[in-house]
C-alpha cells in the first residue's frame, strides 16, 4: 500500500489488507539499511489474526520516497505523523536495531498511544565503530560485508536456515545492495549520535519486551543491562545461539515471543 505523507510517497506492507482503525494495530520498524521485507512473516501472521499489521519502509528506504532522515528523533516524529494520518490511536511498536531506537523515542512521545513496545537487538546508547562509519561513508561493499559478518552468530554464518536452499548471509548482502547507499550511512550515524535512549526508556509506560541473541556481536547482550533497568515494565527474552539478525536466524522464536507479548 502506498500513501502520501508530507508530499512524499510512503510504502506500507499490510498483507493487502485495508487499515481499519477499530482493529488492534502493530507497526514494524526495520533496522539500518533494510526495509519492510524483514518483517513479512510476522506481519502476515498478525494480519491473518485480524490485526492491522503495518511493516513500513522508512523515508529513503525500499519503496518509500525522499531521503533517509538524519536522526532517530526525526524518524520517531515521522512515525507519529504517519500514525496521526492513519487515525491510529493505539499501536504496538516493534523495532529491530536502529528501528528499536526509533521505537524507544516514538513510544516515549506517544505515551498511552503506544500499547506495547518490542525492542529486538537493542541497546542504548548504540555506538557504531569508526571502521564501520568509514565504510558506510564511501565503501558500500565493504560496509555490507562487515555488517553482515557481525550481524550473524558465528554458527549461523555457516548456514542453518530453517528454509531449505536459503543462505542467510547471501540474503543479508542482497538486502543491503538493494538499498540506497546514502541511507545506510545516514542510519548508522543516526544510531551513533542518539544519546536519549535511556531517558526515552524511562518515559515509556507501555509493557516492553526485549528480544536478544546471546551470541550478538553488534549489540552484545551484556550491554542490554542499562536499557532493561531504565524501562519501568520490561522483560528480556534471550535467543540461544542467535546473533543480531534475529528475524532471520530464529524467526519462529521471535514470532512466538511476539504472540505472547502482544496477544
Reduced 3-state DSSP string for 119-150: EECCCCCCCCCHHHHHHHHHCHHHHHHHHHHH
Q: How far apart are CA 62 and CA 183, in angstroms?
A: 10
For residue 149, pLDDT over 80 is answered with yes
The Cα 169–Cα 107 span in angstroms is 32
Q: What share of the chain has pLDDT > 90, as a percent?
A: 84
CB-count exposure of residue 174 (10 Å: 0-12, 13-18, 19+) = exposed
pLDDT band at 202 (very low <50, low <70, confident <90, very high): very high
pLDDT average, residue stretch 237-249: 94
Output phi, psi for 127, to 5 deg.
-70, 150
Domains of the chain: 2-262 (3.40.50.1820)
Average pLDDT, integer, range 37-42: 95
- Pairing type for strands 234-239 and 208-213 reads parallel
Confidence (pLDDT) at 158? 67
pLDDT by residue (tens digit) across 221-232?
Answer: 999 999 999 999
Q: Given pLDDT bands bounded at 50, 70 and 90, which one contains residue 204?
A: very high
pLDDT tens string 105-144: 999 999 999 999 999 999 999 999 999 999 999 999 899 9
Q: Is the pLDDT of residue 238 over 60?
A: yes
Q: What is the pLDDT of residue 174?
A: 74
pTM, two decimal places: 0.94
| pLDDT value at residue 206 | 97
Amino acid at each position: 500500500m502506498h500513501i502520501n505523507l508530507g508530499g512524499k510517497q510512503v510504502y506500507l506492507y499490510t498483507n493487502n489488507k485495508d487499515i481499519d482503525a477499530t482493529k488492534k494495530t502493530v507497526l514494524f520498524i526495520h533496522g539500518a539499511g533494510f526495509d519492510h521485507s524483514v518483517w513479512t512473516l510476522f506481519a502476515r501472521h498478525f494480519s491473518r489474526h485480524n490485526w492491522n499489521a503495518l511493516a513500513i519502509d522508512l523515508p529513503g528506504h525500499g519503496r518509500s520516497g525522499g531521503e533517509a532522515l538524519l536522526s532517530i528523533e526525526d524518524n520517531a516524529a515521522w512515525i507519529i505523523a504517519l500514525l496521526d494520518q492513519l487515525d491510529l490511536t493505539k499501536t504496538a511498536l516493534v523495532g529491530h536495531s536502529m528501528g528499536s531506537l526509533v521505537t524507544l523515542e516514538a513510544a516515549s512521545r506517544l505515551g498511552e498511544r503506544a500499547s506495547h513496545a518490542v525492542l529486538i537487538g537493542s541497546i542504548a546508547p548504540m555506538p557504531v565503530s569508526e571502521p564501520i562509519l568509514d565504510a558506510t561513508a564511501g565503501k558500500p561493499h565493504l560496509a555490507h560485508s562487515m555488517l553482515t559478518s557481525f550481524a550473524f552468530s558465528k554458527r549461523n554464518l555457516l548456514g542453518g536456515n530453517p528454509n531449505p536452499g536459503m543462505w542467510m548471509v547471501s540474503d543479508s548482502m542482497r538486502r543491503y545492495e538493494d538499498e540506497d547507499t546514502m541511507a545506510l550511512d545516514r542510519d548508522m550515524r543516526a544510531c551513533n549520535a542518539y544519546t536519549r535512549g535511556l531517558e526515552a526508556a524511562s518515559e515509556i509506560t507501555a509493557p516492553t519486551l526485549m528480544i536478544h541473541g546471546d551470541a550478538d556481536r553488534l549489540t552484545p547482550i551484556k550491554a542490554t543491562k542499562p536499557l532493561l533497568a531504565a524501562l519501568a515494565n520490561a522483560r528480556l527474552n534471550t535467543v540461544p545461539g542467535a546473533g543480531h539478525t534475529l528475524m532471520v536466524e530464529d524467526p519462529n522464536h521471535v514470532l512466538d515471543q511476539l504472540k505472547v507479548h502482544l496477544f
